[in-house]
Amino acid sequence: MRRSLRRPPALLAISAVTAGVLAITASAGARDLYVNEYTTPAVDRVDPSTGHVHQIASGAPLTSASYLTFMSNGNIAVTDENLPGIFTVKPSNGHIHLLTDKKLLGPYDLDTDPKGNLIVANYGSTNGQKIVRVNPKTGHVKVLSRGPWLGDPYSVQVDPHDGTIYVLDSGGAVDRLKSDGTLKTIASGPPFSTDLWGFARSPDGTLFVTDDASHSLLRVNPKTGGVHTVAATGIGNDPFGVVAPSNKVVYTTDYGTGSVFRVKVATGHVSPVVTGLPPLIGIEVAPRG
C-alpha cells in the first residue's frame, strides 16, 4: 500500500495540473532533466524550474525504459531490461534506434566514459553479471569484467577525467573497477541495505546512492569509503534514479508515485519538482552547452 503524496510546501507554487500530473515550481535556471517512464515506456524532458513535462519518445521498440545517459553526439542511450540491447533516442524527433550488435540480457544503468564509449551494468541470470563497454558508432560490445564477484551490478558511474569506473552492487556495496578487470570494494555494509538502485557522481567526485529499503539518499566519499545519509525521508517509497548536476543539488526519481524530487545536499531538504507521472526509473541532466 502506497503512502499518500505529501502536500507541496507553502512556498512552492503549483504551475500546472494536467491529466493528474502535478507540476511544481522548483528552482530557476537549472538545466532540463530527462526521465524514463518504465511501464509506458517513454522518455520525458522535465523543466526543473516549472515542473513542465514534455514527452520526446515513446512506444516500440522499447518495452520498459529503464536507465539513460547522454552520448557525446547529443543522443540519449536508453536501456530496456526486458530487451537484449541498448537503444538510442534522438531528442529532436524522438527516433529510437537499436545500437548494440549482440545480446545484453538485463542491461541496467549506464554512463559515458571520457572517450565517448558507453559503460553498461549488465545484470542477467542467463548470461551472467558483467560490466561491458559499447562502441557508440558500431554498437560493438566488449566485456570489461564478469563473474560472481560483481554481485548484483545495477549501476555504474565513470570519472570523466581518468575513466575510473565505479560499480553499484545492489546487494549493498560500491566498488571501483580496475583496468585489469578486478574490483576493489570501497564502501559496504550499514547504512547500506541490500536494495540499492540509483547511482550518481557529482562534479567534485562525491557518489550518491538511492536506497529503496530505507527510502533514503546516501552520500559516499570515494577516497575514504565513508557513507552518510543525505535525506532519510521525503523521496518516496521507491527511490530509483539519481543525478547530481552540481555539488549542492541532487535530483531523484520515485517509481511508486511517478515523482521527481530535488534534494539540497547540505541540508537534506526535499522538494517535489513533478508528481503523478507513470512509474519512473532513470534520470539524467542535459549536457552543458
Number of Cβ atoms within 10 Å of the Cβ of 54: 9
Q: What is the mean pLDDT of the chain?
A: 88
- Report the CATH fold assignment for 14-285: Neuraminidase (2.120.10)
Please determine, for residue 8, whether its predicted confidence score (pLDDT) is greater than 80. no
d(CA 254, CA 116): 29
User: pLDDT band for position 24 (50/70/90)?
Assistant: low
Structural domain spans, the chain: 14-285
d(CA 105, CA 148): 16
Please determine, for residue 285, whether its predicted confidence score (pLDDT) is greater than 50. yes
- What pLDDT shows up at residue 29? 60
CB 239 within 8 A of CB 210: yes
- What pLDDT shows up at residue 4? 29
Element (H, E) at 69: strand 65-70
pTM: 0.89
User: pLDDT band for position 93 (50/70/90)?
Assistant: very high
Could you tell me which residue, 228 or 25, shows the higher pLDDT? Answer: 228
- The tens digit of pLDDT for each residue in 168-188 reads 999 999 999 987 778 899 999
Q: Which of 23, 18, 45, 41 is nearest to 32 (CA)?
A: 45
- The tens digit of pLDDT for each residue in 30-77 reads 799 999 999 999 999 999 999 999 999 999 999 999 999 999 999 999
What is residue 248's DSSP assignment? S
